[in-house]
Amino acid sequence: MGRLRSLKPYAKIYVILIAVFFLSMALVYCIPVSWIQENVEKSLAVMETEGERPMYAFYRHSAIVDNHTDMLMYESLIPNRDYNAVQASVSINQYPRYWHGYQVILRPLTVVFQVQELRYLGMMLFYLLFFWSAWLTAKKTRPAYAALYVLTIASSYLSVVTTCFQYLTTFYVLFAALIVLLSRYDAKKPLNPFLYFFVVGMVENFFDFLTYPVITLGIPLILLLWLRVRDQQADFQDNFWFMFQSSVSWFFGYALTWVIKWGITTVILGVRYFWRTMGVVQYRLQGNEEEPLDRIGTIRKNLKAWMNVQDDGIITWSKVALIILIVILILVIWKKLKDRQQVLACVPILFVAGYPYVWYLVMSNHSQIHYWYTYRSQLVALFGILIFTAGILREKDE
């Protein structure tokens, strides 16, 4: 009974959020098509002129703007079948395996704005939330740690991220999650971290296109693990168990939100949509003859994109070894390692830093095809390595 009682808050928030997701989608599809038709057509004309995958300034695969998906998002604003609002909000023009939560924001705004104005507003909101989360990071930790956070996010080609709606949504969820976490963090009265990650997983799935969802788990979790060490609340075993439980909570929030969407689609549109979705799931997990899985190749592709290596470039082990030697040299020269217990308590941060590569191995099909944006999952690896390195070194006043 005790365990069942502990699951009650999760069940309650799950039901509430699913109801909010479903009703909000149905409500925005009550907006008459005539109100948005002109702005949709003009916006699509702009993106068609730009091309499906334009590269501005940097001319690297890591700096591609995914106009293809953004055009799909705009096309989905107008139902292509004679559906009522509920059916249209579930089908999303026969693309029902995702929630398409961006429609809750995009559809009402398209009544007034075209894509050019919305890109500007999206950019402004991005930087507002980014700076807010960075300020809170500096306030709750140290300015140096906030600088590491800013460096991590800045490495994702912000000029590209802020002009692509698909790229923006996951960052919005990340920033909002960090703002909630850091504004409410109190070592004496902590929020329920597992319920927190459960909610973050649910919200990310509502907006997600499998873009780089793992950053909404990894970056907040890394900060929490470090805060627990700083506040002397955890050793290695405690932090490892905390990391595991938080990750499982996020996974169930993310996965169960996906599963219920498939169930809702089946009830409203028919069982044929369920089997169609299962076919896509099988393809994503196993590949096919035309696009067979290459899990190691997927990691290599994403690494090359992240390290800004051109198509004919290679990542040699000598470069990896050089980076490792530099880190070791810094640690040896400074000779400021904290005591062994605190160093070990920080080790779970490195486990979290490896999450992007676990994601690439599991979701290999999607990550090998769309490596030119899924590489941003490795922001978790960069942030984890930076925070771990800073965390195991004594501060000047220690």
- Lowest average pLDDT, out of 89-98, 217-226, 300-309, goes to 300-309
> Quick one: how far is CA 358 from the chain centroid?
14
pLDDT at 257: 95
- 348-377 pLDDT, tens digit each: 999 999 999 999 998 888 888 888 899 999
Q: Indicate the burial class of 21 (C-beta count within 10 angstroms; 0-12, 13-18, 19 or more).
A: buried
CA distance readout (Å), 257 to 11, 13, 99, 181, 305: 12, 12, 9, 21, 30
Conformational region of residue 93, where left means phi above 0, alpha means psi within -120 to 50, and beta covers everything else: left
What distance in Å separates the CA atoms of residue 312 and residue 39, rounded to the nearest whole number? 41
% of residues, the chain, pLDDT over 90: 56
Of 76, 351, 105, 383, nearest to 240 by C-alpha is 351
For the stretch 103-135, pLDDT in tens is 999 999 999 999 999 999 999 999 999 999 999
For residue 396, being part of any structural domain is answered with no
Write phi, then psi, for 287 (nearest 5 degrees): 75, -170
Q: Report the first-to-last Cα separation within the chain, whole angstroms.
A: 46
Residue 170: which residues within 8 A CB-CB, separation 6 or more? 204, 207, 208, 211, 212, 213, 215, 216
Strand partners, 55: 64
Q: Which pLDDT belongs to residue 167?
A: 95
| Residue 231 falls inside a structural domain | yes
Q: Is 276 within the bounds of a domain?
A: yes
Alpha-carbon torsion, ordered 365, 368, 372, 378, to 10 deg: 90
Say what the pLDDT of residue 177 is. Answer: 97
Banded model confidence at residue 170, pLDDT cuts 50, 70, 90: very high
pLDDT, residue 331, reads 63
Per-residue pLDDT tens for 313-343?
555 555 565 666 677 666 655 556 667 788 8
> What is the mean predicted confidence (pLDDT) over 71-97?
90
Q: What is the tens place of the pLDDT at every residue in 155-169?
A: 888 989 999 999 999
Amino acid present at 76:
S
Per cent of the chain over pLDDT 70 is 85
Which pLDDT value is given to residue 365? 83
Q: Is residue 398 part of a domain?
A: no
Asked if the structure places residue 397 within a domain, the reply is: no
Chain segment 195-246, per-residue pLDDT in tens: 999 999 999 999 988 899 999 999 999 999 999 988 877 788 899 999 999 9
State the pLDDT at residue 363: 85
- The whole-chain average pLDDT of the chain stands at 87
pLDDT at 312: 56
Question: What is the rounded CA–CA span in Å between residue 155 and residue 307?
Answer: 10
Confidence at residue 231, expressed as pLDDT on a 0 to 100 scale: 84
Residue 207 half-sphere exposure toward CB, CA atoms < 13 A:
22
Average pLDDT over residues 262-273: 85
* Residue 114 domain-assigned (yes or no): yes
Indicate the number of domains in the chain: 1
Q: List for the chain the helix, strand, coil content (%; round to 5).
A: 75, 0, 25
Residue 85 lies in a domain: yes
Name the band, by pLDDT with cuts 50, 70 and 90, for residue 2: low
335 token code pair: 């000779």
pLDDT for the residue 319:
57
Quote the CA–CA distance of 359 and 365 in Å, as a whole number. 11
pLDDT at 263 over 80: yes
Which pLDDT does position 86 carry in this prediction? 93
Over residues 14-42, the mean pLDDT reads: 95
* Residue-level pLDDT at 284: 65
Structure confidence at residue 311 as a pLDDT band (50, 70, 90): low
Calpha distance 26→23 (Å, rounded): 5
What was the pLDDT predicted at 230? 86
pLDDT at 25: 96
Domain containing residue 235: 2-391
